[in-house]
Amino acid sequence: MDSKTLSNASMLTGRIMLSAIFIIAGFGKIGADYAGTQAYMDSVGVPGPLLPAVIAVEILGGIAILIGFQTRIAAALLFGFTLSAALLFHSDFNQQMQSILFMKNIAIAGAFLVLYAQGPGQWALNPQPKLQEA
């Protein structure tokens, strides 16, 4: 396998892996405990009625990353979403699990920055070149 094919395969695999958590979480919020999720959002000061928007961001943003459609826009949106979720929902560092979830979100946000800079690779609905260096 040549380096270009390996690079494109890696970008596609990375997009699949990165998008899966958002697509699954979005659908999970619909089917699992919708009211409980709203109540949890309210408990940390995020209005529960925003839950449909959260679900839309997770599912639509995840699908955009998955198929490589408007990848930079989706990556920027999900970067902000993931960083906000870390700060709002996982910043109780007295609880080990919250610390772990915070760091997971920070790592995912970092992956979105890389995806923003590199673009989706050539195996995407709308391939975009890497950002130009100054």
Q: What does the pLDDT average to over 28-50? A: 93
Contact 121, 18 (CB under 8 A): no
Contact 61, 45 (CB under 8 A): no
Query: How large a percentage of the chain has pLDDT more than 70?
Result: 99
Q: Residue 90: give the domain boundaries.
A: 3-118
| Confidence at residue 34, expressed as pLDDT on a 0 to 100 scale | 94
Has residue 133 been placed in a domain?
no
Has residue 49 been placed in a domain?
yes
Task: Answer whether residue 132 shows pLDDT above 80.
Answer: no
| Confidence at residue 55, expressed as pLDDT on a 0 to 100 scale | 98
| Confidence at residue 129, expressed as pLDDT on a 0 to 100 scale | 84
Has residue 67 been placed in a domain?
yes
Domain count, the chain: 1
Has residue 124 been placed in a domain?
no
| Confidence at residue 134, expressed as pLDDT on a 0 to 100 scale | 61
Has residue 130 been placed in a domain?
no
41 dihedral zone (left: phi>0; alpha: psi -120 to 50; beta):
alpha
- What is the Cα–Cα distance from 90 to 80, expressed in whole angstroms? 15
According to DSSP, residue 132 is labeled P
Contact 119, 128 (CB under 8 A): yes
Distance, C-alpha 8 to centroid of its chain: 20
Place of tokens 């080990």: 96
Has residue 127 been placed in a domain?
no
What are the residues whose beta carbons fall under 8 Å from the beta carbon of 126, sequence distance 6 or more? 68, 69, 70, 71, 120
| Confidence at residue 21, expressed as pLDDT on a 0 to 100 scale | 97
Has residue 60 been placed in a domain?
yes
Task: Using a cut of 0.95, tell me whether the model's pTM lies above it.
Answer: no
- What is the Cα–Cα distance from 36 to 133, expressed in whole angstroms? 46
Contact 65, 23 (CB under 8 A): no
The token pair that represents 121 in the structure block: 């690779």
Q: What does the pLDDT average to over 66-81? A: 98
Q: What's the pLDDT tens digit per position in 100-117?
A: 999 999 999 999 999 999
Has residue 125 been placed in a domain?
no
